[in-house]
Structure 1
Amino acid sequence: MRKPTYSVEIPSELISEVVSFIAAKQVQHSFSEFSRLYLAEIGTLGKVKHGKRVNVDISRDMSCLRNLSFFFRSKNIESLSRQDVGDYVRYRRSRVSDSTIRRELAVLGSAINYAVRQWGWNLNNPTLNQKPAQNPAKERYLTQEEAKRLIEKARFHEKAPYLWLFILLAINTGMRKQELLSLSWTQFNRDTQSLRLHKTKSGKPRTVPLNRVALFALGELQRHRNGRFVFQIHGRAIGDIKRSFTSVCRLAGIEDCTPHTLRHTFASWLAIQGKSLKHIGEVLGHSNVYVTERYAHLQTAVLQETVTSLEELFQGFFFQSND
């Protein structure tokens, strides 16, 4: 006796989903294509933080992925392995610092995670535990004498006449290099004496208060204003200041100094003066207080002064007068 046969009707939606899933697993994407897709999407829609889309500055992502794409130009993202990433680390170590490599691998890891979560790509993340070990934080900041020399040399820099004003603003606001270079005049509120930053590293807008030195620098820049950006030359926004800044540091005899050192200088000087780490972190735009605590060791003099103030309460109680 022949066994009865049964026919089962499979929903067309399910068939399409299975076909798409199989196709997605078979499709290979070059590393360059993967980078372009990622940058195009986060540049338009923003990154996903805590389940929400936020607009962020993607200049760092672009720079890091450009370096990665050059090295992995013959690779598909699906076939990228831990050995490939290890080769990249060894290649880059002969050219840049470990901190730069960590940033580049962090961007790559975030991009891969994004493709997995947002696009449903079947990717492994070969950057896990591949970043060079990080040494305990040691933040370089300028002494007041170094800052004075740097500004004086920058003031007479023929090829970058705006550089000394950039340095003044950076030291007095703590803003990141790219936040300053992308700054437009519409973000400056003279009435409230502040700058409003929309695209930040954390993805959260923040307001930067301005002191008299910062207002002076903006006033000088405004006198020569010839477009929408605060820092521009020949009507175009300035892309980078690395070369001119390095040259001024050399002229001033200052070593181990980058534009980011100016941000650390701002925070360090405030910490030395005993200002609240919470308030310093808010002005800097830190995502949490733990990031700002790297400056806590600079407040030893203030802490000593704090506990010393209790001595007067015990005068004549334990200590005998010599009179």
Structure 2
Amino acid sequence: MEGRAVVGTMKHTWKALKDRFGPLEGEAVSIADCRAHIAERRALRSERFPNGIQDGTIHTELGHLRMVLLWAEKHKLIEKAPAIERPSKPEPKADHLTRGEVRRLLDAGNAPHIRLAILLMIGTGARNEAALQLTWDRVDFDRRMIQLRNPFDKSRRKGRATVPMNDTLFAALESSRKVALTPFVIEWAGRQVRSIKRGLKAAGQAIGRPDVSPHMLRHSAAVWLAEDGHSMWEISEFLGHSDIKTTTKIYARFSPTHLRKLADSLNV
């Protein structure tokens, strides 16, 4: 898993797992242990989680446990990985921003790098990590294309596409390139920006959308593409999805043209 974002996440999920599962032999983990973990986490309430830990988080925690045990079986550290019971994975959040909300979000952005990051993620559908790691050598102003995947990064990462720039993004990047101090497109005070969550959150609160997140920008871009009637195949390629089924499952319902020809064929 070296080099993948999941490594950082697993460090946090282990904090939730270690007290119950840490003392156990791998093969000794039981369904009862999993159910006890689920019940305990659901009941855990705090100022941050007034309704307890949500099933999506618990699903991820036990999924990481399952991943480790399967790895142990593969490498013959244990004879057989036990079954891990998890709560059902919740449906993806459907919240997205309208074009008007994004324009207001841009106005509320309190720093140039926040506004540029918003334009970049909306204009390309880039994942947060891909946007913050983008370097100027992968921005082709002549062909008006952006290569979101770093060709020198051999780590296994979620799909990163090569996408064209629209006029708004082109103008913003061209202006930023002239004053750039680092190789990174998203920079502040001469340094690479590692996170925009705080700045984005502040802008979101200013427009009455405190739920804004980097992923919501990517999700909003995909919804807009579907609403404009682009095919699921094109949207899948633009987003860098490895499987068109993922695109169709999440975004087909936003498209006014998806399956329209089939419905028209059933006129009587």
> Considering the TM-score relative to the shorter chain, is it more than 0.5?
yes
Q: Distance in 1 between matches of 2:34 and 2:8?
A: 17
Identity %: 28
SS in 1 for 2:162: strand
* Structure 1 counterpart SS, 2:255: helix
Structure 2 residue 168 is the aligned partner of structure 1 residue 213:
yes
What is the CA RMSD across the aligned residues, in angstroms?
3.3
| Corresponding residue to 2:239 among 276, 280, 284 | 284
Match of 2:228 among 273, 283, 288: 273
Secondary structure at the counterpart of residue 146 of structure 2: strand
Q: In the alignment, which residue of structure 2 is the partner of 1:176?
A: 127
Unaligned runs of 5+ in 2: none
TM superposition shift of 1:296: 0.9
Distance in 2, matches of 1:101 and 1:292, equals 25
Secondary structure in 2 aligned to 1:171?
helix
Q: Which amino acid aligns with 1:81?
A: V
Aligned-partner Cα distance in 2 for 1:125–1:265 = 39
Q: Is the 8 A contact 2:56 2:89 kept in 1?
A: yes
Distance 1:137 1:223 in 2: 39
Tell me which of 140, 150, 153 is aligned to 1:189. 140
TM (normalized to structure 2)? 0.78
- Report the count of equivalent residues: 251
Q: Give the residue type in structure 2 aligned to 1:91.
A: R
Give a deviation string over 1:154-206, Cα, whole Å, max 9, x none.
1xx1xx43101111111110000111111122222223322221468755563
Q: TM-score, normalised by structure 1?
A: 0.66
> How do 1:97-112 and structure 2 match up within 5 A?
97-112=54-69
1:136 deviates by: 3.7
Q: 1:216 to 1:70 in 2, by over 3 A?
A: same
Which residues of structure 1 form unaligned runs of 5+? Answer: 1-38, 44-57, 312-317, 319-323
Q: Does 1:145 align with 2:100?
A: yes
Give 1:220 deviation, angstroms.
3.1
Partner of 1:63: 8
What is the aligned counterpart of 1:239 among 176, 180, 194? 194
What SS does the aligned partner of 2:237 have? helix
Q: Which has the higher contact order (CA 8 A, sep 6+)?
A: 2
Distance 1:268 1:203, change over 3 A: closer
**Alignment match of 2:85 (pick from 102, 124, 129):** 129
